[in-house]
Every structure is written in structure tokens, then in C-alpha cells.
A and B are shown apart, each in its own frame.
Chain A
């Protein structure tokens, strides 16, 4: 046996088929987008090393992705960061997962960038309650990218995030 993971990806696309007005009334409706077969799904599975995983839970105090500290615990406020697992993992990253757990103030969305912190690719910013899993093909931690909460202010605007990394 081995330690195994699976990432399930799926999307559902609904087109607005609202009709009307008919006799002065509008009938709101939506249907699966036929061009996309209503949506797609599938999974990516593999093996990982159960001793090479880490979970960070805390407040993001990095305010700019381009000056962030990758997906390391350094993106979080150190004073109340909860770390479980191997915080020293450096390579073999197979996926990173973000979950925006709560906010106070007017923090806005969590920004996420893949790859180079200055010129990498921007992932969909996450609002409270949203989460995403980003696959990687066994790359070093310091190549994965960065995240930021732009309006962070101690005790005023704070975003609490749970960040997971697993590797080989």
C-alpha cells in the first residue's frame, strides 16, 4: 500500500434562458450549457509521502503577492499561525489547497499567483467560504507562487486562511 491522493475537478455551466416579458411578466430560468455538455469532471490521482505534508491555519499578513514569501508559513502572521506537519518541506509539491475560512473588516479577496511572484499566472481570487486546489507536477516549494491579502491591517482587516501542501 501507499499514501494516495486524488484531486477531483468538475465544473457546471448554466446558461441564462430567461424568457420574457410575456404578458408583462419575466420568467427567470437557466439550463445546462449544451456547448460544454453542461460541464465536465474528472480526477487526478497519485501517491504522496505522508511525512511530507503541511497545514497552515492563520491570518495572511502579506499585502502584495510580488513581495510575498511563497506558500510558506511566511505568508501568514507568525504570532498566531497554527502549523501542523512538515513545515520544512522544500520539494516535490503535488498540490496546494487554499480555503478562506473567515474575515473581519473590509479585507477583500485573497489573491493567489502561480509561479514567479512578479510575473506568474493569477488564480481566481477567493472570497470568504471559497476554496481551491491547485495541482503541481512535483515542483519545489519556492516555485509554487504566492498569496496576499491586500488590505490587511492588524485587528481591523484580517483574512484567515487554511493552506495545505502535500508532496512526494
Chain B
């Protein structure tokens, strides 16, 4: 046997099919027939010594986008369980969830692959990326908070990393 990962990134798209008849609007929605849904299932193996779950405040602001595993990414007091992969390792799974915020209400956690912005996560939102573990470097995957001022503008973040 081996350690196993079951990874799913599914989607659902719902089309607004509301109609107006006479002087009344009838709100309605239906599964989008063009794109519908996808279960997004993949299975893989992993090394339990290259996996971590970290919760804390991301103290990298928009101007200083850095790799997740770099020094200074997390505000002092973060909670790390497991073994965080090194920046020189290859990455397999990145899971990011934005938590509560204080201060500016338009704050978010940004997620980038190289120069491409993959998501801007507001509180409660999450995303996941599943990389080719043989080629993908950690230092090309970056996160940042839109606003960060210690004790003033902060957003919580949960990050699960699984290396290879």
C-alpha cells in the first residue's frame, strides 16, 4: 500500500432562466446545458513527510507577492501541523481557504501561478490546484493578501500543501 490522495475539483453552472410574462417576472434557474457539471476526480500517492496544514494571517501584501513557503509569509503566531515542504521541493497539491478578516472589507487572498492570477478568495472561499509533481516548483506558486497592516487590516488563511 501507499499513502493515497483523492483530489476533486468539480464545478456546477446554473443559468438564470427567469422570464417576464405580462407585467410579472418569474424567477427561475436551470443547470447550464452547454457546460453542465464535472466531477473533477483524480487519485495519486504522496509522501506524508512533505505535507502540511497551516492556519494564520498572511502578512504579504499586494506589493510583495512571495512563495507560500518563504520566510515572512505568515504573521507570527501561525499554526503549522505536519512538515511544510521546502521551497526547493516540487509541489503536488495546493489548497487555500480564506478566513475571517479585520479592517478593510474588500480584502482577499490572491493565488498566482507564475504571473497568472488564478483566484481572489474572499472570506469563506477556497480553491485548489493539483500540479504535475515531477516538474512544478514551489517558488512559482505565490499567495498574497490584498491589504495587510499588522493588527489593522488582516485576513486569515488556511493553506494545505502536499509536496513530492
Contacts and interface: CB of A to CB of B under 8 A. Distances in A.
B152 interface: no
A131 B12 CA distance: 14
16 contacts: A5-B14, A6-B11, A6-B12, A53-B32, A53-B35, A85-B34, A85-B35, A119-B114, A124-B44, A124-B92, A133-B9, A133-B11, A136-B117, A136-B119, A137-B120, A164-B35
A7 interface: yes
Given A7-B10, A14-B3, A95-B11, A53 B16 contact: no
B32 A124 contact: no
Which 7 A-B pairs have CB atoms at the shortest separation, nearest pair first? A42-B126, A35-B82, A9-B128, A122-B132, A137-B117, A121-B113, A133-B9
Interface in A53-87: 53-55, 84-85
Interface string A1-41: 11111111111111110100000000011100101110111
A124 B130 contact: yes
A105 interface: no
B8 A3 contact: no
A99 interface: yes
A125 interface: yes
A86 B42 CA distance: 28
Q: Determine which residue in A8, A12, A53 has the highest number of CB atoms from chain B within 10 A of its CB, and name it.
A: A8
Interface stretch (B56-64, B66-74, B133-141): B133-141
Interface of A: 1-16, 18, 28-30, 33, 35-37, 39-45, 48, 50, 53-55, 84-85, 95, 97, 99, 114-116, 119-126, 130-137, 139, 143-145, 164, 166
Interface of B: 1-16, 18, 27, 29, 32, 34-36, 38-42, 44, 46, 48, 51-53, 81-83, 92-93, 95, 97, 110, 113-121, 124-133, 135-136, 140-141, 158, 160, 162
Contacts of A84: 34
Contacts of A42: 95, 97, 124-128
Contacts of A41: 126
B130 A132 contact: yes
Nearest to A122: B132
Contact of A11 (B6, B10, B18, B114): B6
Contact of B38 (A10, A53, A99): A99
Q: Chain A's interface: helix, strand, loop or mixed, by majority? A: strand
Given A5-B14, A97-B40, 16 more contacts: A1-B16, A4-B16, A7-B11, A8-B10, A9-B128, A16-B3, A43-B126, A45-B125, A50-B34, A115-B116, A116-B115, A120-B114, A120-B116, A124-B132, A131-B42, A166-B35
Contacts of B2: 16
A12 B127 CA distance: 15
Contacts of B82: 35-36
A3 B95 CA distance: 26
B119 A135 contact: yes
B95 A40 contact: yes
B126 A44 contact: yes
A22 B38 CA distance: 44
